[in-house]
Amino acid sequence: MSIEEQVTTFILVVLPIYIASFTLYVVRALKGPTVPDMVLAIDAMTYDLAAFLVVLAIFFRSPILVPVAIVLALWVYALDIYVAKYLESREMGE
Amino acid sequence: MDPAWILVILGEVLVAIGVLCDLVAAIGMLRFPNFYVRLHAATVGTIGGAFVPLVGAALIAAGSEFLGVYRWFMAGAALVTAFLVLILAPAGSHALARAAHRSRAAVVKPKVVDHLEEDRRGGEG
Which residues from B are below 8 Å from A75, CB to CB?
none
**Strands, E assignment, A1-94:** none
pLDDT at residue number B123 = 66
A43 at interface of B, judged by CB pairs closer than 8 A? yes
Q: Is the pLDDT of residue A94 over 70?
A: no
Give residues 62 to 91 of A whose Cβ lies within 8 Å of B.
Answer: 63, 66-67, 69-70, 73-74, 76-77, 80-81, 83-85, 87-88
Separation CA B52–CA B13 (nearest Å): 10
Interchain proximity B100–A36, CB inside 8 Å: yes
A6, A23, A54 member nearest B57 (Cβ): A54
Burial state string for B79-98 with b = 16 or more CB within 10 A and e = fewer than 16 = bbbbebbeebbeebbebbbe
pLDDT at residue number B115 = 81
Separation CA A26–CA B119 (nearest Å): 36
**Minimal CA separation from A47 to chain B, in Å:** 6
Q: What is the DSSP string of B33-67?
A: SSHHHHHHHHHIIIIIIIIHHHHHHHHHHHH-GGG
Separation CA A8–CA B95 (nearest Å): 39
A3, A33, A81 member nearest B95 (Cβ): A81
pLDDT at residue number B114 = 79
Stretches in chain B below the pLDDT threshold 70: 123-125
Separation CA B52–CA A49 (nearest Å): 13
A31-85: per-residue pLDDT in tens? Answer: 878 888 999 999 999 999 999 999 999 999 888 889 999 999 999 999 999 989 8
| DSSP designation for B47 | I
